[in-house]
């Protein structure tokens, strides 16, 4: 039996878990089993399903802790390094100088250099993408929305898929799918809401508007026709468990999706920052990790370079969704909230094998250009620039809400 330097066995969990992890590798959105008034037989079936689900979660946690041991045992002094934002300078075109270059063209060339890093490493840290004041406002807004979602789903558990990208039973961790309307979830129920500004639009404007800190980079990665694929807040409460390492979707020759995690408060080691295996978006690594047995998975981990995304408020990471990563356990006394969105590469067609965390009514309805244009309108005085897209609820969602 092969052993790690730490003394952990590489093989014993292979028989039990290999099939389980292959099943879960591309399925972060597990099926929920809402309990309703029904027959005794139905209740017994649901109870059995819940027990199986809990057994799976226990097995996943054991695997996650095993992976953590491997990664830390191969790092310097058992401590993982934090991801650092690279110093990127615009490269002047031949025969030109920076003195004559416009500010916009300089930003584009910087974005080109940043895109090269993303293609190589699968991830890029960007500091100060969003102002601290806007982060504070968005965090308050997101946690208020989480409260409204809890009230709605406590009353009717069938609403869970409307509000959560990851169903609402996973311990202390959820993807909260946001509404783009001014007023947010309150408008789902035609409730009055207290006007407190529009922090979601303010944030998207700073990131993707005319002067957006991420706009030029995304244009390099997905063009202006990249589909707006996800819009959520990743919320991790104190006591939440570590995830298993995974890519977000099956491997594709071209990067299908580029994702943002933006810190709405400082993210310390204790708060469970996301761990990324740099460069692991390659076909070879994905094939070994996703199709191999537990021993092969462990060998991939032992040879990998893991980085923690400890972030200051307003910093973000942009990553290729094929990269191997996981959220760590939140061992602090504070809730960790990340602003999360992504855009799809238009060169990749067909089913990605991954349903992003976005309300169903918004799916395939907007591009990067559409978001940018909405932000230009917002700057021009349109107080509800996504009004024509509605609240993201489909007719099916509305029927569930009424019942």
- pLDDT, one tens digit per residue, over 160-201 is 999 999 666 677 899 999 999 999 999 987 767 777 899 999
Name the CA dihedral angle for 337, 334, 213, 178, rounded to a multiple of 10 degrees: 20
pLDDT band at 50 (very low <50, low <70, confident <90, very high): confident
Per-residue pLDDT, averaged over 380-398, amounts to: 95
Per cent of the chain over pLDDT 90 is: 71
DSSP line for 312-351: -TT-EEEEETTS-EEEPP--SSS-EEEEEEEEE-TT--S-
pLDDT tens, position by position, 351-377 = 999 999 999 999 999 999 999 999 999
**267-280 confidence digits (pLDDT tens):** 999 999 999 999 99
Looking at residue 46, what is its pLDDT? 58
Give the pLDDT mean for 204-221. 98
In 3D space, the residue among 274, 273, 269, 256 whose CA is nearest the CA of residue 324 turns out to be: 274
- Helix %, strand %, coil % for the chain, to 5? 40, 15, 45
Question: Token digits for 27?
Answer: 């399925």
Confidence (pLDDT) at 42: 38
Range name among 24-28, 164-168, 378-382 with the lowest pLDDT average:
24-28
- How far from the centroid of its chain's Cα atoms is residue 274's Cα? 10
pTM for the model stands at 0.86
What is residue 101's predicted lDDT score, i.e. its pLDDT?
A: 47
Give the E-state strand segments of 31-169 in sequence order. Answer: 81-82, 123-126
DSSP string, 92-113: PPTT--TTTS-HHHHHHHHHHH
Pick from 118-132, 157-171, 326-340: least confident: 157-171
pLDDT at residue 4, as a whole number: 37
């Amino acid at each position: 039996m092969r052993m790690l330097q730490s003394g952990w066995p590489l093989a014993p969990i292979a028989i039990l878990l290999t099939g389980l992890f292959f099943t879960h590798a591309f399925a972060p959105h597990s099926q929920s089993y809402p309990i309703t008034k029904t027959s005794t037989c139905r209740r017994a079936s649901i109870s059995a399903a819940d027990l199986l689900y809990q057994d799976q979660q226990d097995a996943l946690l054991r695997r996650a802790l095993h992976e953590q041991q491997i990664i830390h045992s191969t790092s310097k002094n058992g401590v993982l390094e934090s991801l650092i934002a690279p110093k990127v300078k615009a490269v002047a075109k031949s025969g030109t100088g920076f003195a004559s270059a416009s500010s916009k063209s300089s930003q584009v060339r910087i974005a080109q250099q940043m895109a090269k890093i993303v293609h190589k490493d699968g991830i890029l840290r960007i500091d100060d993408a969003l102002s601290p004041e806007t982060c504070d406002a968005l965090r308050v807004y997101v946690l208020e929305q989480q409260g409204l979602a809890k009230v709605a789903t406590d009353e009717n558990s069938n609403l869970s898929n409307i509000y959560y990208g990851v169903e609402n039973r996973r311990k202390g961790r959820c993807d909260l799918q946001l509404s783009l309307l001014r007023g947010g979830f309150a408008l789902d129920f035609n409730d009055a809401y207290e006007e407190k500004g529009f922090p979601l639009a303010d944030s998207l404007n700073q990131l993707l508007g005319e002067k957006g800190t991420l706009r030029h980079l995304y244009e390099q990665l997905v063009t202006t026709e990249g589909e707006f694929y996800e819009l959520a807040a990743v919320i991790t409460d104190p006591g939440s468990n570590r995830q298993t390492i995974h890519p977000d979707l099956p491997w594709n020759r071209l990067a299908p999706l580029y994702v943002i995690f933006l810190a709405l408060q400082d993210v310390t080691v204790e708060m469970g920052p996301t761990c990324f295996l740099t460069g692991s978006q390659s076909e070879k690594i994905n094939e070994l990790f996703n199709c191999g047995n537990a021993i092969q998975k462990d060998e991939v981990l032992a040879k990998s370079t893991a980085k923690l995304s400890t972030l200051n408020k307003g910093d973000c990471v942009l990553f290729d969704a094929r990269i191997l990563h996981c959220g760590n356990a939140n061992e602090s006394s504070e809730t960790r909230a990340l602003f999360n969105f992504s855009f799809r590469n238009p060169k990749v067609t067909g089913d990605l094998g991954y349903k992003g965390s976005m309300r169903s009514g918004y799916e395939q309805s907007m591009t990067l250009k559409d978001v940018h244009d909405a932000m230009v309108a917002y700057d021009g005085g349109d107080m509800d620039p996504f009004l024509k897209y509605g609240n993201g609820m489909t007719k099916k969602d509305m029927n569930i809400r009424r019942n």
